[in-house]
């Protein structure tokens, strides 16, 4: 029997306990073993939870019990989650986490500790909820070159943008609705500012290329300024407004960004609606892949935690390289110096635009304004090239 401890018995922590019971048949078959929750650590009173007999108030108790081989950290926030995770790894226990804040900040250190102690530190649930994307990166896609990743990684913001599109809601109304439905937290700052998305793209990037970039150094623009005009602009360009995180393969400084984008209709990311998440991967010879699913929620996230527990049981000996990355040592390329694609609305006629030193695709012409797509250009070069004309809107495009 595999004995585990759960740190943090909130939505996800209790979801893991519930799913372990409910799906015991499948889990037992997959693990070749029973999984038993021996301890639950939470400062709240667990009376009535069904787990009061296993409640502990001190991490020390868990660390000192050699029968616990896996610790599931679902506390949120960096402390004490980081200290507890490090202590567990040093005590020879594998750690599974859903905590993107810890992974984005301390992942490299924790992975190194896991390696040194011959145990696992796994974090599937920290990105994309139930979508098995990290697993795919470090397994099926490990033998091919990854060129680029684009992700819709936050269900709250995608829900808000979907409502703005479908119902013409304002940002504020859509946010209120998301709060009422439980899709947004009381303080939605981390979601709508893009910070949550930013942490997740840093984790994906780390897994794809082995280097973790400090999320505080990444260009990150949220959706708080999005208005009807941005929606209308995206539609006029033949696309949909989405908050997209992008990272491109780079030999030198990393190239990452998070910003509201016009996702062109031909791109499968354009069909990702409501609270769903998706990650599109340009995987060299393998072509484009997309992984889609519930990016958050109690059970999808708990399911990802359980898939990591199973991964530990099935690959005990593969602790030194599995899902490993290190800290990156150089800052990302400045956003306006990185080449992306852009949708631009300019007040100009075609003759004026044809005289500019750039190549464009005309998307629409209306009321003396041109909607154009300009591909593979740094924003600073784009503005320089557009010189004399008036740019009334410019957004990153995902073609």
Give the strand pairing for 148-152 and 276-282: antiparallel
Site for a copy of itself in 99-128 (CB under 8 A): 124
Quote the least distance from Cβ 47 to a copy of itself, whole Å. Answer: 26
The residue whose two tokens read 């990311």 is 269
Which residues belong to the active site? 200
* Cβ neighbours of residue 299 closer than 8 Å, sequence gap 6 or more: 15, 18, 19, 130
Nearer to a copy of itself, 35 or 198 (CB): 35
Backbone angles phi, psi at 58, to 5 degrees: -125, 135
- The rounded distance, in Å, linking the Cα atoms of 245 and 88 is 32
Specify whether the CB–CB gap between 163 and 177 falls below 8 A.
Answer: yes
Q: Applying CB under 8 A, which part among 26-34, 176-184, 326-334, 367-375 lies near a copy of itself? A: 26-34
Quote the least distance from Cβ 112 to a copy of itself, whole Å. Answer: 18
Q: Does 142 sit near a copy of itself (CB under 8 A)? A: yes
Specify whether the CB–CB gap between 14 and 46 falls below 8 A.
Answer: no
Q: Does 285 sit near a copy of itself (CB under 8 A)? A: yes
Q: Applying CB under 8 A, which part among 59-67, 107-115, 221-229, 287-295 lies near a copy of itself? A: 287-295
Nearer to a copy of itself, 155 or 188 (CB): 155
The angle formed by the CA atoms of residues 195, 113 and 208, to the nearest 5 degrees, is 50
Query: Token digits for 22?
Result: 């409910």
Mask: binding to a copy of itself, 292-331, rule CB under 8 A, as x and -? xxx--x-xx-xxx-xx-xxx--xx-xx--x----------
Q: Applying CB under 8 A, which part among 4-12, 22-30, 85-93, 110-118 lies near a copy of itself? A: 22-30
Q: Does 235 sit near a copy of itself (CB under 8 A)? A: no
Q: Does 162 sit near a copy of itself (CB under 8 A)? A: no
Nearer to a copy of itself, 139 or 176 (CB): 139
Specify whether the CB–CB gap between 305 and 323 falls below 8 A.
Answer: no
Q: Applying CB under 8 A, which part among 110-118, 149-157, 271-279, 344-352 lies near a copy of itself? A: 271-279
Quote the least distance from Cβ 23 to a copy of itself, whole Å. Answer: 6
Burial 12-30 (b: 16+ CB within 10 A, else e): bbbbbbebbeebeeebeeb
Q: Does 4 sit near a copy of itself (CB under 8 A)? A: no
Provide the CB-side half-sphere exposure for 158 (13 A, CA): 25
Q: Does 143 sit near a copy of itself (CB under 8 A)? A: yes
Q: Does 12 sit near a copy of itself (CB under 8 A)? A: no
**Total residues contacting a copy of itself (rule CB under 8 A)?**
57
- The rounded distance, in Å, linking the Cα atoms of 308 and 293 is 17
Beta strands in the chain (DSSP E): 2-7, 35-41, 55-56, 68-73, 94-97, 121-122, 148-152, 211-212, 219-220, 239-248, 255-264, 276-282, 288-294, 326-327, 339-347, 361-366, 369-378, 390-398
Binding site for a copy of itself (CB under 8 A): 19, 22-23, 26-27, 29-32, 124, 130-132, 135-136, 139-145, 266, 268, 270-273, 276, 283-294, 297, 299-300, 302-304, 306-307, 309-311, 314-315, 317-318, 321
């Amino acid at each position: 029997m595999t004995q585990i401890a759960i740190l943090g018995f909130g939505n996800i922590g209790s979801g893991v306990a519930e799913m372990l019971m409910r799906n015991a048949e499948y889990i037992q078959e997959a693990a070749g073993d029973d999984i038993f929750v021996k301890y639950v650590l939470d400062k709240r009173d667990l009376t009535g939870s069904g787990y009061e007999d296993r409640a502990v108030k001190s991490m020390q108790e868990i660390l000192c019990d050699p029968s616990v081989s896996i610790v599931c950290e679902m506390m949120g926030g960096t402390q004490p989650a980081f200290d507890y995770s490090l202590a567990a790894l040093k005590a020879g226990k594998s750690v599974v986490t859903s905590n993107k804040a810890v992974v984005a900040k301390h992942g490299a250190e924790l992975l190194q500790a896991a390696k040194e102690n011959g145990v696992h530190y796994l974090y599937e649930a920290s990105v994309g909820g139930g979508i098995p994307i990290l697993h795919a990166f470090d397994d099926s896609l490990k033998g091919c070159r990854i060129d680029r990743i684009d992700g819709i990684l936050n269900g709250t913001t995608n829900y808000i943008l979907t409502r703005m599109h479908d119902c013409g809601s304002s940002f504020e109304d859509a946010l209120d609705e998301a709060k009422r439905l439980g899709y947004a937290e009381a303080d939605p700052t981390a979601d709508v500012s893009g910070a949550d998305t930013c942490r997740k793209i840093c984790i994906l990037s780390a897994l794809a290329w082995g280097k973790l970039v400090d999320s505080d150094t990444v260009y990150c623009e949220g959706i708080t300024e999005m208005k009807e005009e941005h929606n209308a602009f995206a539609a006029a360009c033949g696309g949909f407004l989405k908050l997209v995180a992008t990272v491109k393969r780079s030999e030198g400084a990393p190239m990452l960004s998070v910003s509201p984008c016009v996702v062109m209709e031909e791109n499968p990311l354009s069909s990702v609606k409501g609270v769903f998440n998706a990650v599109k991967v340009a995987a060299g010879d393998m072509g484009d892949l997309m992984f889609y699913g519930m990016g958050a929620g109690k059970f999808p996230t708990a399911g990802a935690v359980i898939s990591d527990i199973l991964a530990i049981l099935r690959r005990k000996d593969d602790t030194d390289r599995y899902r490993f990355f290190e800290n990156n040592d150089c800052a990302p390329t400045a956003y306006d110096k990185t080449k992306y694609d852009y949708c631009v609305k300019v007040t100009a006629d075609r003759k004026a635009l044809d005289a500019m030193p750039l190549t464009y695709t005309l998307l629409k012409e209306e009321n003396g304004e041109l909607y154009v797509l300009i591909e593979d250009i740094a924003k600073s070069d784009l503005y320089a090239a557009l010189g004399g004309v008036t740019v009334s809107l410019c957004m990153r495009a995902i073609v």
